[in-house]
Amino acid sequence: MVSRRGLPAGLAGAIAAGAAACTGGGFGREAVAAIEAVDGVSATDLEFGSGGALQGVVRGVITIEAADRAELLAIFDHAIGALVALALDSSRQGTEIQEVTGTDGRDEVGVRDLLASSAPGERITVSMLADRY
């Protein structure tokens, strides 16, 4: 039997744990800080979640101030490099990142734009970009 006093505290703890999982907890906060520290990145709207058997999933948009597509891609490359370096340092090389995009409000680039080749629908993980950075 659960006491009435214990329920709110337990419920509050469960809600806090769920919120930390959605934002990626410490890793999510560190990743956002690392990405936003890249020159040209003006904002991030990223979601950090669990990936089943994998080590996690990062989805969302990195907003970038760029004059053209080439500059957008270059800044996005640096931002993904910051994410990849942090993930590797945190032993999260299995983290999926194929759903992260960069935009300047006119154009959009994605992680696939950084790879020489990848099949449509292929999961892209941090480890696949490790040699790039």
Q: Where are the domains of the chain?
A: 24-132
The set of residues, in sequence order, having a beta carbon less than 8 Å from that of 23 and lying 6+ positions away, is: 29, 47, 48
pLDDT of residue 3: 39
Burial 88-121 (b: 16+ CB within 10 A, else e): bebebbbbbbbbbbbbbeeeebbbebbeeeeeee
Chain segment 1-54, per-residue pLDDT in tens: 443 344 444 433 333 333 333 445 689 999 999 999 999 999 999 999 876 555
In the chain, the N- to C-terminal Cα span, in Å, equals 54
The tokens describing 117, both together, are 């080749």
Tokens of 78: 């640096």
The superfamily CATH assigns to domain 24-132 is Cation efflux protein, cytoplasmic domain (3.30.70.1350)
Residue 60 has pLDDT above 70, yes or no: yes
